Structure 1
């Protein structure tokens, strides 16, 4: 069974349904510009297992947005690096699924696509910036880190 995303309306949606909702949101104001953003955050549990929350955000630039999120619990992660790399891999997997669905549709507007990584110049994750940014760029995605990575550090973080 695929992991389903939660909507703000309490619905559980597959990736295809999330993309349909994104398209409806864009079609409401097709002349505006949009960003479609994927970000993942995680939290280590006492058991050393980790909860991962991935958010799909559609941002109508200058005029709000919508988001969808899913939580999955994975096995033990003994280092912060392993957990951050898993966050990035989950974001990349979702990004590829979303783009595959988007390519099947004709979207009437200009939109950009980004992956937001929950790392930054301050704190423990600063040593991972080069590696994480390289992974994301190698997959041909635009990347944002803290403080600009709000899909991971704010949206996904709300549900972790």
Structure 2
């Protein structure tokens, strides 16, 4: 791939169809306007939160990235986007045979998508997002606990704060709901 194509793909992370909580389509410009209105609201404090979850749908994995504006003490609203990746991208080999999809790689891909969207939102609006990760803390001893520090490290190294389960509702509840 040449560098022009790579740059074009990198700038299109936030492009595409976005939907609101009622599954009504919204444009990317409307997404930015929605965030700008929250920034201009001097009577309320907001958090901008990004999270991604994925599920297999046929021969693809559907990655749902949700962008949530949380009005502190007064509820929240969100927009989300679907991105499909062929399931063969997540097949790993084991002991001479192909095995089920590589969940660990999918988790890293989820976090990469969240970071990319958070970066574009920050670059465009100046509003610093928090990234929610659909992984458990190390103490929980779940599958994702084994590498949750690595996932959190990726987010922090990119300049964002992050939150893991069970408080990571944007990834583990909102994005999860739309990924199924």
What is the TM-score normalised by the length of structure 2? Answer: 0.77
SS at match of 2:61: strand
Q: For this pair of structures, how many residues does the alignment match?
A: 150
Cα distance in structure 1, aligned partners of 2:103 and 2:25: 32
Cα distance in structure 1, aligned partners of 2:17 and 2:120: 13
2:26 pairs with 1:12: yes
Which residue is equivalent to 2:144?
A: 125
2:107 pairs with 1:84: yes
Which residue is equivalent to 1:106?
A: none
After TM superposition, list the pairs within 5 Å mapping 1:8-157 onto structure 2: 8=21, 10-14=24-28, 16-27=29-40, 29-47=41-59, 49-76=60-87, 77=90, 78-103=101-126, 113-121=129-137, 122=140, 123-157=142-176
What is the TM-score normalised by the length of structure 1? Answer: 0.85
Post-superposition Cα deviations, 1:97-133, rounded to whole Å, max 9, x if no partner, equal 1111103xxxxxxx76200000003321111111101
Cα distance in structure 1, aligned partners of 2:158 and 2:102: 24
Which 5+ residue runs of structure 2 have no aligned equivalent? 1-11, 91-100
Which 5+ residue runs of structure 1 have no aligned equivalent? 104-110
SS at match of 2:124: helix
Task: Give 1:32 deviation, angstroms.
Answer: 1.8
SS at match of 2:147: helix
Task: Give 1:17 deviation, angstroms.
Answer: 2.4
Q: Which has the larger Rg?
A: 2
Instruction: Report if the CA contact (8 A) 1:7-1:13 is conserved.
Output: no
Cα distance in structure 2, aligned partners of 1:30 and 1:8: 24
CA RMSD of aligned residues (A): 1.8
Which has the larger displacement, 123-132 or 143-152? 123-132
